[in-house]
Chains A and B, each alone.
Chain A
Amino acid sequence: MVEKTYDVVIVGSGAGGGAVAKELAPLCRQGLRIAVLEWGPKLRESEFTGREAEMADKLYFDSGGFLTRDRAMTLAFGRAYGGSTVVYTGTSLTLPEAVLARWGVPGLDHGDLRRRSEKYLGENNVHLLGDDALNDNNRLFAEGCRTLGYRVAQFPINVKGCHGSGLCNLGCPNAAKQGTNRVQLPAAEAAGVEVVTNCKVETIGERACTATVTNPPFGEPSSWEPGRYRIRARAIVVAGGAVNSPALLLRSRLPVQLPALGRYLTAHPALILVGEHEHPITNYFGHPKSYYCDQFVDDGFLLETCMYFPFTTAKNLIGFGAEHADLMGRMDRMQMILVLAVDPALPANRITLGHDGEPVVDYRFTDGVLDALVASQRAAARIFFAAGCRRVHAPAGASFFITAAEAGRIDELITREPFKLGKVSISSAHLMGGCRMGADAGDSVTDAWGQVHGVPWLFVADGSLFPRCSEINPYVTIMALADRVAERVRARLPELPA
C-alpha cells in the first residue's frame, strides 16, 4: 500500500468538495498540501457526446438508476471530476429564510448563508437567460401558470456561452455550465491543490483514509498509479454526497458514537409529467429548465420545467405497448413538467451498509408525500391544458391520456388509487441529509460548521449536512455551507497535529 501525506484531504469534488478546495487553495502558497480525492473520472471534452445511455454510464452512480431498497425510487447522483455539478441543470437559488428557520440549526444565520451564496452566484456567472434563449417548453409553462394565476418565476442559471444543447443532465458538451469542474476545481488546481480522479476512498481512520485508484476505460487516467493507498492528513473533509458521505463514515472506525449518522435523508421525490401539443414545439433545443412555480410549496410540492431524453422519458411514462409508443413517437410535441415533493426528515429514511459495504437506502413514502405527488399531477395537468396541450399523461391518471375535453374533471381522473409504488417512476436528484447539522450529537452528526461532533479533524461539506430538505434546488446552499466548512478548517488547522 502506497503511503501519502497531506495537510488536508477532501473526499469528493462536487458542489461541496469543489468549494472547499478552492477556498483552501491559498494555503498551498504557505506550503500546505491539499488533495481532492474524487471517485469518478475526468472526461475529455470529446467524451461529452450527449448520448443518454453512454453518458449516464460514465457520469452517474448506477447509470443514474441507484435504487432504494424497496425499489420504489431511483436516485441520480454524479460521479465525476465536479461530482453532480457536471450533471445538474445549473439552476441557482438561495435558501429562503423561512426554510432556514425550519432547519433550526443554532449558529447558522441566514444573513451569513445569503452572503456566502451570493459569492457563488457571482463566481458561477449566475444570471437570467434572455427571452430569446427560452424555448416553447419553458415559455408555455410560464404562460400556463400565469393563465391560472399561479406564481411563476424564472430560474437564474450558471452558464457562460450556453448554446442551448439541452443536454445539461448528460454533461454540457459545450463547456458552458459553470459547475465546479469549470470554476472551482481548475482554480484550486492552479493554486496548487492536487485533484486525484478515479480514486475511491473506502474508509477513514484516525487522521488517515484508505483509497483505491482504478482507471475506467474512458476519461483521463488518474494522476496516481492504479493501486491501494493510505493517505494521512491533519484534517479530512468528506464531501461525497448524501448517499456516499454517510456510507463512508459508517464504514469507518470513528472515535465517537453518532446515532444520527445516515438518518434523516430527504430527497424531493420527483415525477416527470408529459403533455402533448397538437403541433411540434421547441423543447429539446435550448436550456431545459427556465421556470419554476412555488405556488404550492405549503401544499408540499414544487413544479419546474424540464425536458428529458428518450429513455428517461419512456421510463417515466406509465404503461407499455402501442399507446406508450404512440406518445414516445411525438417527442417534438411534448411539454414536460417536473414535480417535486417537499418531504419530511425522518430518522427511518436512512443510509445503511449492505454486506459488501456499499450504501443501501431505505426510504418510506409518507401519506403526506404521496398525497402531494398526486396533487402535484393535478396542478401540472391544469398548467398543461392552460398552455394548450391536447392531452396529458399523468402516472396517477385513470387512463393513459386525459384529453383536453376532460380537463374539467382532473380531480376525479387523477387520484391516489392507481398511484402505486413500484409501478410509478419516482426519482430523486436532490439528496439531502444523512450527516445533518445540529447542536446535539444525539440527533445530528456535525455542528453548524460541518465539524463532526467530537472529532476535531473530521468535517462534512455536502448536501448530507441538510437537517431537512431545502425546498429548492440545493447546490448553491451546499456551496455556501461548504464555504463555512472551509473557513472552520482554515481556522482549526493550526491546532491540528501534523
Chain B
Amino acid sequence: MTPLSERQWAFFLAVAARVVPAVTSLDETGRERFAAIVGTALAGRPRSLQRQFALFLSVVRWAPALRFGAPFDRLAPAAQDSVLRWFMDAPAAKLRGGFWGLRALVFMGYYGQPEVWGAIRYAPSFSGNEFLHG
C-alpha cells in the first residue's frame, strides 16, 4: 500500500506516535486505515517527492546521532520531541518543510479517519441546521 519500505514505515510510525500520541491507541483496524490513508496520499505524489520524503525520514532518524549519540528511535520520548521541535523550527526552510510534510501525513492518517471524530468531539450532520438551537 505505502511506497515506503517496511523499515521506513516502522520508523514513520515511531515518529507518528510523537506527533499524535493517540496513534498508538488505534486498534488493528484503525492502524490499517491509518496506513491506507497515508499510503494513498504518498502514492499519489510524484516519485521524486516520494524519494525526497524517504530521504527526509532518514535524516530525522540519523541526525540525532550527532547530538545525542543515538538515532531517533533509540532516544527517550522527551529527546525525540526535542529533535522534532528542532526540525519544526530548523534554520533551513527545506528541513522545516520536510517536517511539515511528515506532520501533515500523520495528521491525515489519524484525523482523516471518521472513526476518531467522536474522540475529538466532532460530529457533523448533513442536517446541521437542526442542531443550531439546542
Contacts and interface: CB of A to CB of B under 8 A. Distances in A.
Interface of A: 50-53, 57, 62-63, 65, 70-72, 132-135, 162-167, 173-174, 280, 282, 284-286, 309-311, 313-315, 318-322, 324-325, 328-333, 356, 418, 420-423, 425
Interface in B71-107: 81, 84, 88-89, 93-97, 99-101, 103-104, 106-107
A46 to B, nearest CB: 12
Contacts of B129: 133, 162-164, 285-286
A284 to B, nearest CB: 5
Contact of B18 (A51, A284, A320, A418): A320
Interface stretch (B2-10, B62-70, B108-116): B108-116
A354 to B, nearest CB: 8
A71 B120 contact: no
B14 to A, nearest CB: 13
A333 B46 CA distance: 38
The CB with the most chain A CB atoms within 10 A, among B94, B104, B112, B127, is that of B112
Interface residues on B, range: 35 or more
A170 to B, nearest CB: 10
B20 A325 contact: yes
Contact of B96 (A63, A164, A420): A420
Contact of A70 (B40, B97, B126, B133): B97
Given A63-B41, A315-B104, A420-B89, A282 B96 contact: no
A284 B126 CA distance: 10
A285 B131 contact: yes
A352 B112 CA distance: 32
A172 to B, nearest CB: 9
Contact of B40 (A57, A62, A164, A423): A57
Main secondary structure of the interface of B (DSSP, over half): helix
A280 B112 contact: no
B125 A421 contact: no
Given A174-B126, A284-B124, A285-B128, A329 B119 contact: yes
Contacts of A313: 111
A24 B49 CA distance: 42
Given A70-B93, A310-B111, A422 B104 contact: no
A332 B124 CA distance: 10
Contacts of B106: 320
A320 B20 contact: yes
Residue among A135, A331, A332 with most chain B CB within 10 A = A331
8 contacts: A57-B40, A72-B97, A315-B108, A330-B120, A420-B89, A422-B97, A422-B100, A423-B99
Nearest to B19: A320
A193 B37 CA distance: 38
B22 A325 contact: yes
Contacts of B20: 314, 320, 324-325
A390 to B, nearest CB: 16
A1 to B, nearest CB: 27
Nearest to A358: B46
B108 A53 contact: yes
B1 interface: no
A118 B106 CA distance: 44
B127 A163 contact: yes
